[in-house]
Amino acid sequence: MMTQTAQAPKLADDKFRMIRDLIYEMSGMYFGDGKKYLMESRLARRLGACGLKTYDEYYYFIKYDPGRAQEINRLFDEVTINETSFFRNPPQLDAFAKKILPGIVAEKEQKNTRNLRIWSAACSSGEEPYSLGIYVLESLKFSLPKWKVEIHASDLSEEILQKAKTGLYGDNSLRNTTPTYRSRYFVQANGKYAIRDEVKQLVQFQQINLSDKLKMRSMRGMDVIFCRNVLIYFDMESKKQVIAHLYDSLNPGGYLFIGHSESLHGVSKAFKLVHFPKAMVYQKA
Amino acid sequence: MRQVTKSSIERIKDLPMLPDIAAQVLASVSDPRSSMAALRGLIERDPALTAKLLKVANSALFGMRRQISTIQLALVVLGMNEVSSIVTSLSVFTAFCDMPDDEFFDRERFWEHSAGCGGIARILSKRLGLKMEGREFVAGLMHDVGRILIDQYFHEEFVEIVERVQRGTGSMRDAEKEFLGASHDEIGGWLADRWGLPDALIEAVACHHEPTRAETDRALTAVVHLSDLLCRAKGIGFSGETEGFSIVDDEAWKLLAEDHPELLDMDIERFTFELDAEIEKAMEFIRISTNQPASGGEEMP
Ligand SMILES: C[S@@+](CC[C@H](N)C(=O)[O-])C[C@H]1O[C@@H](n2cnc3c(N)ncnc32)[C@H](O)[C@@H]1O
């Protein structure tokens, strides 16, 4: 890391802002001023790979070059964290577990309609939907038998879904997991952690491409949807379509989570933006 | 139960007071006959204040391109009102710096929230093209000082209020009204009044929870109200108490949008992301006021 930073050409503040703004325009992903040094080393690698010398050249390349699409995807892969984990981005999960879920549960208790439908729409190897399952168990506790809980989890990749269904994880996946939750919801064997059945049985996996209109239309009546860190892979038109589908999948008053540094500004006006501590969530009106 | 009133606050013997120099600066600025030279003389008589003021003027909060090396230059570049606001902000810290922490009240977090709120108020007013000349920063910094007074002078009640809020039965303000007959916003407003601060500032502190009550400077109060919310949204403050909120549904937002329709198209997500940098600038203000060494931040090699 040290050497890489040392070799990276210096990224001036104004160039950083230019590229940051362009990335935001293209993907809705925002990099704050504090991310400048991280960006410098990551961009330097892309510069090298493209055989370009200055950040200016790189900027014009990703903005105007006819073959830019491929490079843009590589850039996004470079500057984002592709790796998922349990309890990724704690403030978002706090908003879900401490504010949103109790609200939904109380409302449904009152209406006497004890069902919960949650969807993790780009679930990768399963850490996200299982984390949500753990929170549902923590929240419902002994009243769980009175509830019908469905956590739907989907991804584009069949391969990763197989891994998710296995439910076996290494230390790295559990880096945000407290000792209490480790012992309560995992069985440890041979240096691996297996998610316990009580969590596993809440989650049902299926393959869904977010661009697949037919499958998307089959997902209905969701209380909460997580669609985090995947929208950057879509261009504006397809993103609008995906978001419109997710909107239709939600119950009135339901919530949509996207990646913590992502934004739907300019993508959809249908949702109401709700601020929670360190987390912005979209609510279906 | 004790009943806290304006006069009971004013009767407190060791009530934190605005330093003389700040009172004189405020008087000088509001006096139409006074001159820039007089104001400069006043400030320069206090070398410690002069040094801090120049540090603040040269900090990221103002983002000046050239070095402001003298009070004279600060007055010319920033204007008398802005300089007076900096003096008042610095004085808030001087007035409260001796008040120690206690187990029910984390003062460091309190000032982070207060200064963060000031920093957000600053960028929000700038974004709207409102010329608030630093009043928004002072008001943000002071909006919750009533809480310190309650903790310091009505400690038993303070503890009961905190415990009530922790049990999750009702808001801080309701508990304050129940145990003291007055809430921290009112109490803070009384202090601002006692200090002789301008009416708009008193009002912004006193009405920051009910911005539609403001009459003197509705925009200032609205800006402070929203900054308080946004600062909590950034996780700086008393997060246990923070429920989700929609900024466009907020009455202060609607009030501002009447005069600034551009708010209706504002990229609120991006604005929220950008606040991190503004809050960092406000933290620099705390470090200067309390004589802490500057943080390495981005300038380090
Ligand atoms: C970075 S992971 C995000 C995992 C998890 N949501 C998180 O935030 O930690 C991105 C996932 O999106 C999936 N993905 C990419 N394109 C997709 C598409 N068109 N439809 C569904 N999933 C897709 C990938 O297979 C990958 O598992």
Q: A204: which strand partners?
A: A152
User: What is the mean predicted confidence (pLDDT) over A148-152?
Assistant: 98
Give ipTM to 2 decimals: 0.93
Tens digits of per-residue pLDDT, A182-205?
999 999 989 999 999 999 999 999
Q: Are residues A184 and A266 in the same domain?
A: yes
CATH of the domain at B139: 1.10.3210.10
The pLDDT, as a whole number, for residue A186 is 98
Q: Are residues B159 and B265 in the same domain?
A: yes
Pairwise CA distance, residues B207 & B223, whole Å: 11
Residues of A whose CB is below 8 A from B248: 272-273
Q: Do B140 and B166 form a contact (C-beta atoms < 8 A)?
A: no
The pLDDT, as a whole number, for residue A1 is 43
Token digits of residue B176: 């304050």
Give the CA count within 13 Å in the CB-facing half-sphere of B147.
23
Whole-structure pTM value = 0.94
- SS in 3 state form for chain B? CCCCCHHHHHCCCCCCCCCHHHHHHHHHHHCCCCCHHHHHHHHHCCHHHHHHHHHHHCCCCCCCCCCCCCHHHHHHHHCHHHHHHHHHHHHHHHHHCCCCCECCECHHHHHHHHHHHHHHHHHHHHHCCCCCCCHHHHHHHHCCHHHHHHHHHCHHHHHHHHHHHHCCCCCHHHHHHHHHCCCHHHHHHHHHHHCCCCHHHHHHHHCCCCHHHCCCCHHHHHHHHHHHHHHHHCCCCCHHHCCCECHHHCHHHHHHHHHCHHHHHCCHHHHHHHHHHHHHHHHHHHHHHCCCCCCCHHHCC
Residues of B whose CB is below 8 A from A243: none
Closest-CA residue in chain A for B236? A277
The pLDDT, as a whole number, for residue A140 is 94
A194 backbone dihedrals φ, ψ, rounded to 5°: -105, 130
Total of domains in chain B: 2
User: What is the mean predicted confidence (pLDDT) over A84-99?
Assistant: 96
Pairwise CA distance, residues B301 & B299, whole Å: 6
Q: Are residues B85 and B106 in the same domain?
A: no
Pairwise CA distance, residues A204 & B214, whole Å: 54
Question: Which member of A24, A100, A281 has the closest CB to residue B270?
Answer: A24
- Mean pLDDT computed over every residue of chain A: 94
Residue B68 inside a domain? The answer is yes
Q: Are residues B144 and B274 in the same domain?
A: yes
Q: Are residues B31 and B169 in the same domain?
A: no
Sheet strands side by side (includes A168-169): A168-169, A192-195, A186-189
Total of domains in chain A: 2
The DSSP code for A29 is B
Q: Are residues B147 and B283 in the same domain?
A: yes
Pairwise CA distance, residues A268 & A237, whole Å: 11
Token digits of residue B249: 């549904």
Tens digits of per-residue pLDDT, A223-243?
999 999 999 989 999 999 999
CATH of the domain at A211: 3.40.50.150
Q: Are residues A73 and A203 in the same domain?
A: no
Q: CA B203, B206, B212, B218: dihedral to nearest 10 degrees?
A: 20
The pLDDT, as a whole number, for residue B1 is 67
Q: Tell the residue nearest (CA) to atom 27 of ligand 1.
A: A124
Residue A269 inside a domain? The answer is yes
Q: Are residues A33 and A151 in the same domain?
A: no
Structural domain span for residue A48? 13-79
Q: Are residues A73 and A97 in the same domain?
A: no
Q: Are residues B81 and B118 in the same domain?
A: no
Q: Are residues B93 and B109 in the same domain?
A: no
**Is A156 touching ligand 1 by the criterion CB < 6 Å?**
yes
Where residue A4 falls among pLDDT bands split at 50, 70, 90? very low
* Contact between chains at B230 and A33 (C-beta distance less than 8 A): no
Residue B207 inside a domain? The answer is yes
Residue B12 inside a domain? The answer is no
- Examine the pLDDT at A2 and tell me if it is beyond 60: no
* Domain boundary residue, one of B81, B98, B115: B98
Q: Are residues B54 and B124 in the same domain?
A: no
A256 Cα–ligand 1 center, Å: 15
Which residues are CB-neighbours of A46 under 8 A, at least 6 positions away? A58, A71, A74, A75, A78
* Contact between chains at B243 and A95 (C-beta distance less than 8 A): no
Residue B48 inside a domain? The answer is yes
Residues of A whose CB is below 8 A from B270: 24, 30, 263, 265
Where residue A82 falls among pLDDT bands split at 50, 70, 90? confident
Which residues are CB-neighbours of A244 under 8 A, at least 6 positions away? A268, A270
Q: Are residues A138 and A108 in the same domain?
A: yes
The pLDDT, as a whole number, for residue B185 is 97
Structural domain span for residue B118? 102-296
Residue B63 inside a domain? The answer is yes
Pairwise CA distance, residues B71 & B54, whole Å: 7
* Domain boundary residue, one of B98, B118, B141: B98
Q: How many CB atoms lie within 10 A of CB B252?
A: 25
CATH of the domain at A38: 1.10.155.10
Q: Which residues of chain B have pLDDT under 50?
A: 297-301
Q: Are residues B93 and B107 in the same domain?
A: no
The pLDDT, as a whole number, for residue B301 is 36
Q: Are residues A182 and A103 in the same domain?
A: yes
Q: Which helix (H) or strand (E) covers residue A12, if one does?
A: none
With the most atoms of ligand 1 within 8 angstroms of its CB, the residue from A29, A119, A124 to mutate is A124
Residue A73 inside a domain? The answer is yes
Token digits of residue B294: 């500057």
**Which atom belonging to ligand 1 lies closest to the Cα atom of A210?**
20
